[in-house]
Amino acid sequence: MKIAVCIKRVPDMDVRFKIGSDNVSLDEAGLKFDINDFDAWAVEAALQLKEKNTGSEVTVISLGPDVVQETIRKALSMGADRGVQLKTEKVPFDGFPVAKALAEELKAGAYDLIFFGKMSPDSSNGVVGAMAAEFLGLPCVTAISSLEITNGKGTAKRELEGAQEIVEFPLPAVLTVDEGLNTARYPSLKGIMAAKKKPLETKPVQLAEPQVVVRKLELPAERKAGRIVGEGAAAVPELIKLLQTEAKVL
């Protein structure tokens, strides 16, 4: 099986972000970057399929400046076979030109399965996988939390609001990965050493003009400091009163 996984380098979210002096980008000083969690689960899914299907190959693709090579190497150290960097100066907010560029590359690779994370926490838009599937004209299942591939056919579970769907799809197909599908492996020392020798190809790409542009970034208003109403069950009547008269939600 030929499998592709599209991955993104994202900042660690467990920080207080600072807005850059241009007001349209983040101050990246001090931020730690790593592979998007959803994309790491996508890599893991691809590796598990590779282990079950001898002769399979897993290609990881990331779009962006040279720093994304580090993210690609991480996926290679987990066990992917080769990497492709679609080299751009920046990664725009707009998912349209990104999906377009990835679809071009994916089309040329004639993959049986293409994985994306269902979204990335930085842009929090979650559109690239489904858009790329449309550009490729391939069947697509988004936000999967289980997967089985047998005899060129796939079965996946999707989480919906208040329900789960089991869907069947033919290959080739595009899948976007939700939490719950698996737990991503950590690269082993051997994997890290091996990754250094794996092929990583860099291809410059020209992105289409974005239609969605960041005009301004701002920090959300802080929530007003709350108050402790009291301790234990004795505080319940006071809470009920506040919910009725102050918050007016009861």
Partner 1 sequence: MPNVFAFVESRGVDVRKVGLEAVTAARAFADKSGGGEVHALLLGPPGIAANASQLGKYGADVIVAVEHAGLASYNPEVATATAAERIKSGGYRAAIFSTTAQGRDLAPRVAARLGVSVVTDVLSFELEGDTVVVRHPINIGKVIATLSISGSPAIIAMRPNVIAPVQNVKAGRVENAQPAVDPGTTRVKVIETRQGGGGKLDLAEAPVVIAGGRGLKAAENFKLVEDLASAFGNAAVGATRAVTDDGWRPHSDQIGQTGRLVSPELYIAVGISGAVQHLAGMRTSKTIVAVNKDKDAPIFKVADYGIVGDVFEVIPALTEAVREAKKHH
Q: Interaction with partner 1 in 34-53: which residues (CB under 8 A)?
A: 37-38
Cβ within 8 Å of residue 247, ≥6 positions away: none
Q: Residue 19 or residue 192: which is nearer to partner 1 going by CB?
A: 19
Q: Three-state DSSP class for 194?
A: helix
Question: For 123, which DSSP code?
Answer: T
| Contact between 27 and partner 1 per CB under 8 A | no
Q: Which of residues 127-146 bind partner 1 (CB under 8 A)?
A: 127-135, 139-143, 145
Distances (CA, A) of 50 to 4, 47, 77, 135, 146: 11, 5, 15, 26, 16
Provide the terminal-to-terminal Cα distance of the chain, rounded to the nearest Å: 57
| Contact between 22 and partner 1 per CB under 8 A | no
Distances (CA, A) of 128 to 9, 34, 117, 175, 214: 14, 19, 9, 11, 17
| Contact between 99 and partner 1 per CB under 8 A | yes
| Contact between 81 and partner 1 per CB under 8 A | no
Q: Which of residues 143-182 bind partner 1 (CB under 8 A)?
A: 143, 145, 155, 158-170, 173, 178-180
Q: Which of residues 219-248 bind partner 1 (CB under 8 A)?
A: 219-220, 223-233, 235-237, 239-240, 242-244, 247
Q: Which of residues 184-223 bind partner 1 (CB under 8 A)?
A: 210-220, 223
Q: How far apart are CA 35 and CA 37, in angstroms?
A: 6
In the complex, minimum distance from the CB of residue 33 to partner 1, in angstroms, rounded to a whole number: 13
In the complex, minimum distance from the CB of residue 134 to partner 1, in angstroms, rounded to a whole number: 4
In the complex, minimum distance from the CB of residue 115 to partner 1, in angstroms, rounded to a whole number: 16
Q: Which of 94, 102, 147, 184 binds partner 1 (CB under 8 A)?
A: 94
| Contact between 20 and partner 1 per CB under 8 A | no
From the list 7-15, 49-57, 104-112, 192-200, the region that binds partner 1 by CB under 8 A is 7-15
In the complex, minimum distance from the CB of residue 34 to partner 1, in angstroms, rounded to a whole number: 14
Q: Which of 104, 121, 185, 200 binds partner 1 (CB under 8 A)?
A: 121
Cβ within 8 Å of residue 93, ≥6 positions away: 123, 125, 210, 212, 213, 214
Q: Residue 110 or residue 160: which is nearer to partner 1 going by CB?
A: 160
Q: How far apart are CA 116 and CA 129, in angstroms?
A: 6
In the complex, minimum distance from the CB of residue 140 to partner 1, in angstroms, rounded to a whole number: 7
Question: For 75, which DSSP code?
Answer: H
DSSP string, 129-190: HHHHHHHHT--EEEEEEEEEEETTEEEEEEEETTEEEEEEEESSEEEEEPTTS--PPPPPHH
| Contact between 32 and partner 1 per CB under 8 A | no
